[in-house]
Amino acid sequence: MNSPTLQTTFAGIECLNPFWLASAPPSNCGEQVMRAFDAGWGGAVWKTIGEPIVNVSSRYSSVDWNGQRMMGLNNIELISDRPIETNLREIAEVKRRYPKHVVIASLMVESKREAWHAMVRRAEDAGADGLELNFGCPHGMSERGMGSAVGQVPEYCERITGWVKEQARTPVIVKLTPNIGDIRLPARAAKRGGADALSAINTINSITGIDLDTLEPRPNVGGKSSHGGYCGPAVKPIALNMVQQVNADFVDGAPLPMSGIGGIATWQDAAEFILLGAGTVQVCTAAMHYGYRIVEDMGDGLLAWMRSKGYASLDDFRGLSLPKVTEWKHLDLNFRVVAEIHADKCIGCQLCYTACWDGAHQCIHLDRASGGMDVRPAGTDPRTTHHGANPQGKPTPAEVFAASVKTISVTPIPKLDGLQASTATPLERIPRVDEDECVGCNLCSLVCPVPECISMERRETGLPPESWEQRVAKGKVAEEVAVTGNPNL
Amino acid sequence: MSEATGFYAKAPRNAEVAARFVELHPPFVAAAAVAEAHRCLNCFDAPCMGACPTHIDVPRFIKKIATGNLEGSARTILEANILGASCARACPVEVLCEGACVLHREGKRPIEIGRLQRFAMDALDSMQDAGAALPFVPGEDTGRKVALVGAGPASLACAAELRRRGVRAVVFDARPLPGGLNTYGVAEYKLPLLESLREIDRLCALGVEFVLETTVDAVKLAELEREYDAVFLGVGLGAIRKLGLAAEEHESVTNALDFIAGYKSGAIATVAETVAVVGAGNTAIDAAIAAVRLGAREVTMVYRRGPEQMSAFAFEYEHARLEGVRFLWHTPAERAFELGCGLVVLAVGQGTHTEFVAPMRLEMEDGRIVVERATGRTSHAKVYAGGDCVNGGREVVDAVADGKRAGVAMAQALGVGR
């Protein structure tokens, strides 16, 4: 097979690769954007251009998690603080020197037809390959009737998109805000307004934290703060869901091309967005954290994965996961998995044990050395064969702990104790799953620190696939209601 | 004897020894401690806790470091082990908590539990220096009193449990400073004498009383038994055994315990050019490395058997080799006196020191006091015992565990336990 390619076309725009810098500080000026292109970025959405603003100091705050910095980043920075003509002059300069790279002008002006017309004309005259309408910025600008103040009201979204389309010669991308109940509504409005593409998500309203010494929220501006826009790895799952929702929405015709945004930092993240239908991906936080250089592995890793999967281009896998996302009512209620702990990999941390007891269904026990392995599963499914809590009267975590602290241990002295150091996990520390009580929730496999130590194994129920919706259609649920009085079974 | 407090402030300070015995395991800086704390998996019923004779809830104190709750971290340690500061430095963590860390089985470095424990205890020292209160208080006075013989780790741990339950705890020791081997016997690069005393000051604040430079003999012991509600024996082991050779009566011959106590207390500041150490236990290693640090040009360990039979921990042996100590295996002790060394240090194991308890007719075994493991109770209803005099010579943390169990049991026996 020929080497796969990352080249792609997005809403008619030819792209060297799908990696664009999102409209944000990394794309603030021409000097930065050119260095980003040198590093390998295929495109940049310019820091939003509009009538210059004055920013506050400070502007960012973050959420660290378990010793890792910036799981999530928050900002209260506004659009570009540089004169419009400076930004446009630099766009022209970048396009002259990097004609094959994509430069998208992100725009935000007051909600007046003439203002938008003028701005669109100037941006396109500067040589922008496309326009992104910033209907998403959730802080500051929204208080002035722009940004998410537009994106949150579908009719404004449709009307302004329409004004832009009256003027635009290049593709128009509408950037959606996640700070709304149903993101499909502004997406449909943008489509009705004539948008050529969408991008999602913009940042999420947030307060990242409070300084426990001063009691002041972050980021601190003279002792006060304001809600900001949250982004970074923490928001990726929210972004994936919203991208999927929009890309699976056929209410107003086929979905528009989507530029995915939200916590993308690696090639895996990019692949996931593309599998849910994104045409390009936009990155901000990761570039702010580690610099433009991160794009190298995003491309390299994505190509390696494409080779391993036999995909020649992004089109070969774009959207392939969309049909695999469905409504809950279509999921097969007769599909069953149970957890299996592989003793040869277990290190004996017993996190699965405590997680199952306190956070799940009390079906993991510490009885491998005391007869637990002799118990043969009855093959019953606890979802339908209900038992009381802890039916076999196994010790609770508190009882296990209390017994443990009563033991007497001494420093082993080889000469006195004849002890041989053993590297194997003692059998009594390896937990066992009681299959007949396991609901197959995954929790143990999620908390287990060892890869592939806990796997979820298929158990045949002997029943054909059947969803809740099918049960309702067959009248089964009605029968259950009659028997149990519960309309949800 | 209430003036027997404030040992840290009053203790001798020797800059020369401090410079020569730079600590083996430097403390964590805060950011590194937090990063290391985050590596801990937070195991349930953690093996590190089980491996610790005092059962410190290791994941709990480590996660408190991660959240910045250092006072709570130190309290967690001290609740299980009142000598948490010295154990953090003196414990052979390789064969205890860190040896039991599950990360070994995943091919990863174990959590540096010892250094994290020290970090929390150092933080407590800083907080106390800044005027913070003790993280625990003595129990309400019950009118009961217990005499403790020997001021080593076993008695100190026992005394702490008694004080927490409102029992008067009066500790007798023949030496001028309390702490036993913690103060006089642990290599200075692991546990400086000053740090042992700083920790004992916390016990003073808990109301433990010390009667020092007072030898308890059979007569005194009988008096204590009469006058106190109970007696705890934490007398440790006796002197280093003699070889029975004429040569060992020379002034150029000493024993490892006197040698180590000598340099730690400042009585010894230099050493001969060449030193031979007889024996190959952990104490012998400590003595050999001390000789190197004190400036000996050549230090030789003489052991009658081979490296396989050596009772020192493997990491201690490695350390000695790295310090430049030479080993003569399968060599009779007599040979040590023929090497022409300026100093010969005997470290061939300690005898027992229990003759003075003979009139009490306690059940004994090979000179060791026999106790019920879970309570430390001897065959005499009023007498409890723990530490080296019971276990034959193990680690500080084993003595602490013995003393702790005995303290809890004594208070219960006195009707004031909880």
Examine the fold and report which residue of A324, A341, A376 is the final residue of a domain before the chain moves on.
Answer: A324
Q: Are residues A439 and A314 in the same domain?
A: no
If contacts are CB pairs under 8 Å, which of residues 62-91 in chain B contact chain A?
66, 91
CA A428 to chain centre: 39
Mean pLDDT for B385-392 is 96
Q: For residue A350, what is the nearest residue in chain B, using CA coordinates?
A: B44
3-state SS, residue A265 = coil
Query: Same domain for A290 and A368?
Result: no
Whether residues B256 and B341 share a domain: the answer is yes
CA A446 to each of CA A49, A54, A201, A268, A454: distance values in angstroms, whole numbers, following the listed order: 44, 46, 27, 19, 9
Domain annotation covers residue B19: no
Residues of chain A neighbouring B34 (CB-CB closer than 8 A):
67
From chain A, the residues in CB contact with B317 under 8 A are none
Residue B9 in domain: no
**Residues B149, B231: one domain?**
yes
Beta bridge partners of A432: A365
Banded pLDDT at A29 (limits 50, 70, 90)? very high
Q: Name residue, tokens 């009961």.
A: B144
- Provide the shortest C-alpha distance from residue B50 to chain A (in Å): 7
Is residue B418 included in any domain, yes or no? Answer: no
Q: Are residues B358 and B382 in the same domain?
A: yes
Q: Whole-angstrom Cα distance, residue B270 to residue B262?
A: 10
CA–CA min distance A61, chain B (Å): 19
The last residue of one of the domains, among B103, B129, B155, is B129
Q: Is B344 helix (H, G, I), strand (E, B) or coil?
A: strand
Query: Å from B329 to nearest chain A CA?
Result: 17
Instruction: Let me know whether A358 and A310 are in one domain.
Output: no
Min mean pLDDT across A1-10, A19-28, A74-83, B325-334 is at A1-10
Cβ <8 Å between B43 and A350: yes
B373 in helix, strand or coil? Answer: coil
Q: How far apart are CA B225 and CA B218, in angstroms?
A: 10
Local structure of residue A219 (DSSP, 8 states): S
Mutation target vs A (from B36, B41, B44; most A CBs, 10 A cutoff) = B44
In a domain, A395, yes or no: no
A31, A107: one domain? yes
Domain ranges, residue A468: 326-387+426-489
> Would you place residue A417 in the very low, low, confident or very high pLDDT band (cuts 50, 70, 90)?
low
* A86–chain B nearest CA distance, Å: 43
CB contact under 8 Å between B53 and A409, yes or no, is yes
B392/A contact by beta carbon, under 8 A? yes
Compare all CA atoms of chain B with the CA of A426 and give the residue at the minimum distance. Answer: B47
DSSP B210: E
* Shared-domain flag, residues B230 and B358: yes
Residues A127-174: tens digit of each pLDDT: 999 999 999 888 888 888 888 888 999 999 999 999 999 999 999 999
- The residue type found at B359 is P
Asked if pLDDT for residue A488 goes beyond 80, the answer is no
Which chain A residues touch B95 with a CB distance below 8 Å? Answer: 411-412, 421
Q: Identify whether the C-beta of residue A341 lies closer than 8 Å to the C-beta of residue A430.
A: yes
Among A302, A324, A346, identify where a domain stops. Answer: A324
> Does A300 share its domain with A354?
no
pLDDT at B14 (0 to 100): 83
CB contact under 8 A, A408 and B50: no
Question: Could you tell me the pLDDT band of residue A419, with boundaries at 50, 70 and 90?
Answer: low
**Domain contains A414:** no
* Domain endpoint, select from B291, B316, B346: B346
Q: Are residues B48 and B118 in the same domain?
A: yes
Q: Does the distance separating the beta carbons of A409 and B50 come in below 8 Å?
A: yes
What stretch of H or E contains A132? strand A130-134
Residue B297: DSSP 8-state: S
B184 and B333 belong to one structural domain = no
Measured between CB atoms, which of A347, A348, A411 is closest to B395? A411
Residues whose CB falls within 8 Å of the CB of residue B245, separated by 6 or more in sequence, listed in order: B333, B334, B337
ipTM entry: 0.91
Is B35 within 8 Å of chain A by CB? yes
CB contact under 8 Å between B50 and A407, yes or no, is yes
A406 occurs within a structural domain: no
Same domain? B217 vs B361: yes
Residue A393 lies inside a defined structural domain of this protein: no
Note down the domain range covering B163: 145-237+351-413
B305 to chain A, any CB pair closer than 8 A? The answer is no
**What is the phi/psi pair of residue A98, to 5°?**
-130, 65
Q: Specify the CATH number for the domain of residue A349.
A: 3.30.70.20
* Chain B residue at shortest CA distance from A349: B43
Amino acid of residue B263: Y
A105/A191 same-domain check: yes
What average pLDDT score do residues B282-288 get? Answer: 95
CATH classification at residue A261: 3.20.20.70
- Which residues from A are below 8 Å from B102, CB to CB? 347-349, 425
Whole-structure pTM value: 0.93
- Looking at the fold, whether A332 and A315 belong to one and the same domain comes out as no
Per the domain annotation, does A482 fall within a domain? yes
CA gap B62, B74 in Å, rounded:
10
Q: What's the mean pLDDT in B397-410? A: 98
What mean pLDDT, rounded, does chain A reach?
A: 94
Residue B18 lies in a domain: no
* Burial of residue B38, with CB atoms counted within 10 A of its CB: 0-12 exposed, 13-18 middle, 19 or more buried: middle
| Tally of CB atoms within 10 A around B145 | 17
Does residue A358 belong to any structural domain of this protein? yes
Cβ neighbours of B311 in A, within 8 Å: 413-415
Q: Are β-strands A364-365 and A432-433 bridged in parallel, bridged antiparallel, or unpaired?
A: antiparallel
Residue pairs between chains A and B whose CB atoms are closer than 8 Å:
85
DSSP-based three-state secondary structure for A105: strand
Same-domain status, A38 and A116: yes
- List residues of A with catalytic annotation: 137
How many folded domains does chain A comprise?
2
Residue with tokens 């593409």: A197
pLDDT at B77: 98
Which pLDDT score is estimated for B1?
41
Min mean pLDDT across A417-421, A428-432, B175-179 is at A417-421
* Pairing relationship of beta strands A228-231 and A204-206 according to DSSP bridges: antiparallel
Paired tokens of B119: 């970090």
Answer whether B32 touches A (CB < 8 Å): no
In a domain, B289, yes or no: yes
Do A125 and A266 share a domain, yes or no?
yes
* Of the residues A276, A301, A324, the one at which a domain ends: A324
B106 vs A347, A416, A429: nearest CB: A347
How far are the Cα atoms of A359, B337, B339 from residue B250, in angstroms, in the given order?
Answer: 70, 10, 15
- Same domain? For B259 and B319 the reply is yes
CB atoms within 10 A of CB B241: 14
Average pLDDT over residues A407-426: 76
Q: Does some domain include residue B104? A: yes
Q: Which residues of A touch chain B, with CB atoms under 8 Å apart?
A: 66-67, 347-351, 353-354, 397, 400-401, 404-405, 407-416, 421, 423-425, 429, 449-450
| Contact assignment for B398 to A411 by CB distance below 8 Å | yes
Q: B137 in a domain, yes or no?
A: no
Instruction: Based on the fold, state whether residues B231 and B355 are members of the same structural domain.
Output: yes
A416 within some domain: no
Judgement on whether residues B181 and B42 belong to the same structural domain of the protein: no
The confidence score (pLDDT) of residue B161 equals 98
Nearest CA in chain B to A405: B55
Q: Which residue has the tokens 């994106």?
A: A151
> Is A51 found in the same domain as A120?
yes
Same-domain status, A381 and A295: no
Tell me the C-alpha distance between B174 and B211, whole Å. 9
The domain total for chain B is 3
B45, B51, B391 ranked by CB distance to A401: nearest: B45
d(CA B215, CA B196): 21
- pLDDT for A420 equals 55
Q: CATH number for the domain including B305?
A: 3.50.50.60
Mean pLDDT value of segment B356-385:
96
Same domain, A50 and A77: yes
In chain B, residues with a C-beta closer than 8 Å to the C-beta of A353 are 44
B170 and B113 in a common domain:
no
Distance CA B315, CA A390 (A): 46
pLDDT in tens, B229-279: 999 999 999 999 999 898 888 999 999 999 999 999 989 989 999 999 999
User: Given this model, what pLDDT does residue A416 score?
Assistant: 61
Residue A399 lies in a domain: no
Are B233 and B256 part of one and the same domain?
no
